[in-house]
Structure 1
Amino acid sequence: MARIASNSTQNFIQRYAVIVVAVMMSMSIGIYVFNFSGNLSDDQDTWGQFGDFLGGVVNPIVGFMTIWLLTISLKQSLDALQQSREELELTRDAVVDARKMQEATENALKKQIAIAEHARDIDVVLSIWKSLDEKYTLLGQEYKKHKTGASSKTGFDVLVEWNKVKSERDLYEKILSVEKSRLINMYMPECNTNSN
């Protein structure tokens, strides 16, 4: 509240400083004319005395007003500098926060990309495993047909192909298991510790 009153006083003085000086000069001239007669003199000494009187009265007032306005100007400059510092500090904080947010976003995007890549790899391995599992099942049915005599292939050929598909299927099953464990360790370590 005191700052508002101080600002309004400063604004009043700044606006009316010229008017105040003009009024003071007019009052000085009026006082001089009233006290020392109303006639204009032709004497140069009288005009010199009048100038000295006017300078002696008005110059201190003008000097005081100049110092007062300079003080106000300095105060306003200091206030503006402080405000600039505060705004600069807020801007710096905002930049730091934005940088942290950007880093967090980048990390989240990198994590999402890694998850998507792992999911893609798992989908590929899973589709290969499903294909091999279907082939494995068909070969098992073919072997049963051979035992009943309904197959055109020999039992040995079916067993060799069945073992080959079984070993490939088992390999892809291990790959799936490894990928699953790796994903759990990377992205959900708390699930991994709970399952142990």
Structure 2
Amino acid sequence: MWAAQHFAFEEPNRWMTSGGLGTMGYGLPAAIGVQLAHPKSLVVDIAGEASILMNMQEMSTAAQYRLPVKIFILNNQYMGMVRQWQELLHGGRYSESYTDSLPDFVKLAEAYGAHGIRCSDPAHLDAAIKEMIDTPRAVIFDCLVDQKENCFPMIPSGKAHNEMIMAELEDDAGLELGNVIDEKGKMLV
């Protein structure tokens, strides 16, 4: 969802997405398929760490066919959208959305014969992305991001498109709340 909102495409037919339908694990096999179909193109899978772990075994396919696919992991140590739903719609009752036992993605990349990069400092991000793009083989880029950052807009389960949560607000006590707008532009929360 972050890529859909913040990544600009200069040409049509350059975007593969599950459309936000909750298909965690879609990105890596889709990127491998695109790389097979377009072997000379730059193919980047932008995904969360939980999504990558769903199909990490597909890195063996990338290795076997020597595919230079780039895996850019937005790593917040959570199933990000699950955590966001639990925070905003279930009163912060978190259940099994945090992962404190993640693998070392750099070492995992090396195990598959890929190049591993980790970046936690925004000041080094541009150089690390350039390194990823310039590497002629598969790359797993572990980009450590803020654990509590939410992705908006979002449509709560069972709600219509005109009941989407647009952004976060703070209440009088300083607590963050979802900002729900109805079809007339009236704030509901």
TM range, smaller chain: under 0.3
Higher helix fraction: Structure 1 or Structure 2? 1
| TM-score for the superposition, normalised by structure 1 | 0.20
Structure that is richer in strand per residue: 2
Query: TM-score under structure 2 normalisation?
Result: 0.20
